[in-house]
Amino acid sequence: KAGVTQTPRYLIKTRGQQVTLSCSPISGHRSVSWYQQTPGQGLQFLFEYFSETQRNKGNFPGRFSGRQFSNSRSEMNVSTLELGDSALYLCASSFGTDTDTQYFGPGTRLTVL
Partner 1 sequence: AQTVTQSQPEMSVQEAETVTLSCTYDTSENNYYLFWYKQPPSRQMILVIRQEAYKQQNATENRFSVNFQKAAKSFSLKISDSQLGDTAMYFCAFTDKLYGQNFVFGPGTRLSVLP
CB of 104 to partner 1, least distance (A): 4
Q: Is 60 in the site for partner 1 (CB under 8 A)?
A: no
The correct pick among 56, 71, 77, 80 for binding partner 1 (CB under 8 A) is 56
Q: In degrees rounded to 5, what are phi and psi of residue 15?
A: -55, 140
111 Cα distance to chain centroid: 15
Interstrand relation of 42-50 and 31-38 (parallel, antiparallel or unpaired): antiparallel
Q: Is 68 in the site for partner 1 (CB under 8 A)?
A: no
Nearer to partner 1, 42 or 62 (CB): 42
Nearer to partner 1, 7 or 18 (CB): 7
Interstrand relation of 5-7 and 10-13 (parallel, antiparallel or unpaired): unpaired
CB of 113 to partner 1, least distance (A): 21
Q: Is 42 in the site for partner 1 (CB under 8 A)?
A: yes
Helical (H) or strand (E) element with 77: strand 74-78
Q: Is 99 in the site for partner 1 (CB under 8 A)?
A: yes
CA distances from 6 to 18, 36, 92, 98 (A): 18, 14, 10, 24
Q: Is 31 in the site for partner 1 (CB under 8 A)?
A: yes
